[in-house]
């Protein structure tokens, strides 16, 4: 006796093509159950939320009026900006060869796996954790921040760029190889034109993200505006905190606008 195959049927029903999946339903139930469990064990009662919000409102009221008069905002912001640009530049420069090595369509498996391990390693830690280690290693200041964000940039650009390279059209590569081009010439004429557009997008996004992160690594002593922000918090000088936060928002917004122009020039 054999199971009737679909081709033997003359009348079909909805269930022949869209059979209900027990596994999928169980997964939904499991996710919901975990959410309830997590909220319950963390003590997230309505009472606790109400108390927290009340405290938050009083805290935010302390922000006004923001205080911009302190003279250490500008040097701090400039230092953050420098950390962001330097780490983006160095990180991207280091990420390019690593990404090429990590692309499985260009390299033998053992090479791409080693490069991928390196990328995974760079991505494993939040920049603040790397910054803490870097501060211990090279001391307080901007150098530690640059190291931390360079590390993050290698992971981020390396991963996205290697994935972009893996998605390119093989046919174009094949044609360039067929002309007798060397590996580097295949990269220059077969790979680069296909990934350039996205690569510029990655750099812009990475610089943007480094700009935000560079305002934070200072919290652990790795240079930039973050240190100023942290000490203002510790002094309960919330007006000054508000001033710094508004300046950071302004800086990130300027970065956003610059990004648009940079992309337009390079495309």
Partner 1 sequence: MSTLSIRHLVKEYVPGKPVLKDISLDIEGRGITAIIGPSGTGKSTLIRCINRLINPTSGEILFEGQDLAKLSGQPLREARRRIGMVFQEYNLVERLTVMENVLSGRLGYMNAWSAWRRKFDEADIQKAFTLLKRVGLADFANRRADELSGGQRQRVGIARAVMQSPGLLLADEPTSSLDPKTSVEIMEVMRDLAAENNIPVMINIHQVDLGKRYAQRVIGMSGGLVVYDGAPDGLDGDILKQIYGGQDWLAT
Q: Which residues bind partner 1 (CB under 8 A)?
A: 169, 171-172, 174-182, 184-185, 187-190, 193-194, 196-197
Question: With contact defined as beta carbons under 8 Å apart, do 145 and 131 qualify?
Answer: yes
Helix (H) or strand (E) segment spanning residue 244 = helix 238-266
Torsion angles phi and psi, residue 23, rounded to 5:
-60, -45
Q: In terms of CB distance, is 133 or 175 closer to partner 1?
A: 175
Q: In terms of CB distance, is 58 or 171 closer to partner 1?
A: 171
Q: In terms of CB distance, is 2 or 182 closer to partner 1?
A: 182
Rounded least distance, CB 65 to partner 1, Å: 53
Rounded least distance, CB 196 to partner 1, Å: 7
- For tokens 């990269």, name the residue: 187
Rounded least distance, CB 181 to partner 1, Å: 4
The CA-CA-CA angle for residues 225, 67, 235, to 5°, reads 65
- DSSP code for 190: I
Rounded least distance, CB 92 to partner 1, Å: 18
From CA 253, how far away is CA 203, in angstroms rounded? Answer: 17
Q: In terms of CB distance, is 194 or 239 closer to partner 1?
A: 194
From CA 247, how far away is CA 254, in angstroms rounded? Answer: 11
């Amino acid at each position: 006796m054999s199971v009737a195959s679909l081709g033997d049927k003359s009348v079909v029903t909805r269930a022949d093509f869209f059979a209900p999946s027990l596994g999928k339903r169980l997964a939904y139930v499991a996710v919901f159950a975990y959410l309830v469990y997590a909220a319950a064990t963390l003590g997230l009662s309505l009472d606790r939320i109400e108390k927290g919000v009340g405290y938050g409102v009083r805290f935010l009221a302390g922000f006004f009026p923001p205080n911009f008069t302190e003279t250490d905002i500008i040097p701090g912001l400039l230092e953050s900006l420098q950390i962001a640009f330097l780490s983006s530049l160095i990180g991207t420069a280091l990420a390019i060869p690593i990404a090429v090595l990590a692309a499985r369509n260009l390299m033998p498996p053992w090479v791409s796996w080693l490069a991928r391990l390196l990328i995974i390693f760079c991505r494993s830690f939040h920049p603040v954790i790397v910054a803490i280690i870097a501060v211990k290693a090279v001391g307080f200041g901007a150098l530690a921040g640059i190291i931390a964000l360079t590390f993050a940039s290698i992971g981020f650009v390396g991963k996205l760029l290697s994935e972009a390279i893996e998605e390119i059209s093989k046919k174009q590569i094949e044609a360039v190889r067929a002309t007798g081009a060397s590996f580097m010439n295949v990269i220059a004429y077969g790979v680069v034109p296909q990934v350039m557009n996205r690569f510029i997008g990655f750099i812009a996004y990475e610089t943007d993200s480094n700009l935000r992160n560079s305002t934070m690594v200072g919290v652990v002593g790795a240079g930039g505006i973050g240190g100023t922000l942290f000490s203002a918090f510790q002094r309960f000088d919330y007006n000054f905190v508000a001033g710094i936060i508004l300046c950071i928002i302004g800086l990130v917004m300027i970065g956003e606008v610059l990004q648009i122009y940079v992309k337009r020039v390079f495309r």
